Structure 1
Amino acid sequence: MKRFLTVFLCLITLCLSFAFSACGGGDKDTITVCMPDGAPALSMAKFMSEDTDFGRKVEYRVVGSSEIASCVTSLDETKNADLCVLPVNTACKLVGDGTKYKMLGTVTHGNLFIAAAADAQDLTRDNFAEEIAGKKVGVVNLPAFPGAVFKLLLSDYGVSDKVTLSPVAATEISGTDGALDYFVIPEPAASLRVGNANLKLKIAGNLQSLYGEDGYPQAVLVAKASLIENDGKFISKFMEEMTAAADWLTDEGTSASTIITAIAAHYPDPENTAPAFNEKNLTKTVIANCAVKFTGAETDKDKIIEFLRKLKAAGDAAATEVAESFFYNGSK
């Protein structure tokens, strides 16, 4: 029994060590930039494709969404990422006090869609409350960010108690069985399911437009306060190039293969990683639906505060108030 416990503890230690090593590094001269796979990784695919270093030694790392929180929470701060992309509610909960990290800006502005059978009613801001009431809705990642945003919408439209929500896997979504009326699903899975002619599905709604004209902040970029203090020029250069990185994605000269290769080259364990994107699902439409656009923290501050307030009111435990100092204002 003692031997078993020893082996078990060693395995746990190795797993934790791998999780943390996937985010930060021991080389104090290397700047580590970590992001979850999917839309957040798209925001920096240009940098990874071109090995952009901004005059420093930079290491980009793309990890699974379940691992990204560990990239900023190690007790050994040298193992934490210098820059990291996080869901906005997770960022505010983990580092929103502004002491160790500051938010540089928003990198994605919502990639959640509502799918339904081809003959279902489309959902707009004018008819959402009436049409969704009494319906059964399957939500991919119901306990996480997608579920939180949809619950926010139900609260905003005054129908929180009139809709039945169920967790569903993207691969289980079908418009033909009638068990569920609508599905909340992120890209690229949304386009994949709708693109399967056998499922007879369509995009019936867009959570971004249902929330408001400019959508909502979904993933944000944070940087260590110490890096901002010690190398503000690097931070400025990095932020300046984020807009060009978004434009590069939609340029007709940028192929899906180039983007996918760039991202895959930065998985810590590529042989055991299932990529979010492949050449079949990474179309220009999907890229556009991922809403990759960089806006600075100063610009988005009020919007994020309001979004967090609404998430919290709708019951999202991860949504917390943030300190004024969390928002980077372009100076040390």
Structure 2
Amino acid sequence: MKNKSKILFIFMILLTMLFTACTSTNQKEVKPDDSKTQQGEIKTDEGKSSSDSKVNIVFRDGVTALTLAKMMDEKAIENINYDMVASPDVLTSKVLNKEADIAIVPSNFAATAYNKGLGYKIVGTSVWGNAYILSKDESVKTLADIKGKKLTLFAKGLTPDLMTRFALKSNGIDPDKDVEMEYLSSPTEIAPAFLGGKADIVVAPEPMATAITLKDEKAVRLASLNEEAKKAGMENGYPQATLIVKEELIEKDKDLVDTIIASYENSIKWAVENKEGLATLSEMYELGVQKPAVIKGLENMNIGNFVITSTKDYDKYFEILKEDNPQNIGGKIPDLNAYYEK
């Protein structure tokens, strides 16, 4: 019975990681021992750092990687291994196996990691909700016009689905009665369905949403799920990608942790203010977001507002996920002890 529970727990984590992480438009599979890393990396046969002083930062390619671009390029802090992975299961395993000293993960997994006692603290959010409802149906001008239409999306029962349902309900639309909800098996099927004429209204994450609008001039952003979350009382919207830090590292060298956090905050700020430079670094380091998508779509990726001044947005977001299934966040809304204090 215990084995079955353990398998179910890991399966739930893999599902949530797959669909809440930021989606890349041009991903290539990266195996655990092929993870892209920056200068100074030292690995053993197990893929772990061979130096106790080396801090392993693990993150997904795509929008999340953009937040680290300047920090990686400057190499201002020595003994950091930037471990970029292209699949959610690799990211999950590195946190579960505690290979990650620092990781940028979907926020619901950050809650799960804390609730399951994995030994990580929540530091802040660097990417807020960046999924959009796109339409090329000329009769649909507002979200209310979706009534009676077909909405194509992915990840049934997971964050994209739950936040879409939340947005619809907030606008007086019953997703189970007023809309035909068509679920595709993978987010990678969304763009082909829309561009190929099989779907006129879709939910698409960044940078996919920008890629679609660049290829189809009839595509319009009908609604931002993040803006809908703001209307419901979340100051910044819903937290999509969260940085977590291993408690062991905090106890060992809190000053170093604070230095890394400060450098990361500067990297985020630079990314928001320098789209041309960011696009160049994305191409240089193969971060998984094509240069045109960075230039045209950066403002829609919702990078920024990293520092936590209140847990209100987290609590509201976690409550939405918990109402659907408590296991979406590991059973309960994390208490204040889950959050890192400078």
- TM-score when normalising by structure 2: 0.75
Map 1:54-133; keep pairs closer than 5 Å.
56-66=78-88, 67-74=90-97, 77=98, 80-96=99-115, 100-117=119-136, 119-123=138-142, 128=143, 130-133=144-147
TM-aligned CA deviation for residue 118 of structure 1: 5.4
Distance 1:44 1:95 in 2: 23
Map 1:275-294; keep pairs closer than 5 Å.
276-283=288-295, 285-294=296-305
Map 1:1-332; keep pairs closer than 5 Å.
24-53=48-77, 56-66=78-88, 67-74=90-97, 77=98, 80-96=99-115, 100-117=119-136, 119-123=138-142, 128=143, 130-142=144-156, 144-157=158-171, 159-162=174-177, 163-168=179-184, 169-174=189-194, 177=197, 180-197=199-216, 200-213=218-231, 214-249=236-271, 250-251=273-274, 254-262=277-285, 264=286, 276-283=288-295, 285-297=296-308, 299-315=309-325, 317-320=327-330, 321=332, 322-330=334-342
| SS of structure 1 residue aligned to 2:51 | coil
Amino acid at match of 2:63: A
Distance 1:142 1:25 in 2: 37
Distance 1:255 1:303 in 2: 28
Number of residue-to-residue matches in the alignment:
290
Contact 1:155 1:314 (C-alpha < 8 Å) held by counterparts: no
From the superposition, tell whether residues 24 and 305 of structure 1 become closer, same or farther in structure 2 (CA, over 3 Å): farther
Contact 1:192 1:281 (C-alpha < 8 Å) held by counterparts: yes
Amino acid at match of 1:188: P
Distance 1:176 1:117 in 2: 12
TM-aligned CA deviation for residue 110 of structure 1: 1.3
| SS of structure 1 residue aligned to 2:163 | helix
Q: Give the CA RMSD over aligned residues.
A: 2.8
From the superposition, tell whether residues 84 and 196 of structure 1 become closer, same or farther in structure 2 (CA, over 3 Å): same
Aligned to 1:272: none
Q: Percent identity?
A: 21
TM-aligned CA deviation for residue 230 of structure 1: 1.4
From the superposition, tell whether residues 35 and 103 of structure 1 become closer, same or farther in structure 2 (CA, over 3 Å): same
Amino acid at match of 1:81: A
Contact 1:173 1:193 (C-alpha < 8 Å) held by counterparts: no
From the superposition, tell whether residues 70 and 146 of structure 1 become closer, same or farther in structure 2 (CA, over 3 Å): same
Amino acid at match of 2:153: V
Amino acid at match of 2:317: F
Amino acid at match of 2:221: I
Amino acid at match of 2:224: N
Aligned to 2:24: none
From the superposition, tell whether residues 25 and 141 of structure 1 become closer, same or farther in structure 2 (CA, over 3 Å): farther
Distance 1:71 1:192 in 2: 30
| SS of structure 1 residue aligned to 2:176 | helix
Moved over 6 A (4+): 15-23
TM-aligned CA deviation for residue 218 of structure 1: 0.5
TM-aligned CA deviation for residue 122 of structure 1: 3.4
Contact 2:154 2:161 (C-alpha < 8 Å) held by counterparts: yes
Contact 1:82 1:224 (C-alpha < 8 Å) held by counterparts: yes
Of stretches 82-91 and 110-119 in structure 1, the one that deviates more from structure 2 is: 110-119
Q: Highest Rg: 1 or 2? A: 1
Amino acid at match of 1:109: W
Distance 1:23 1:228 in 2: 22
What are structure 1's unaligned runs of at least 5 residues?
1-14, 265-274
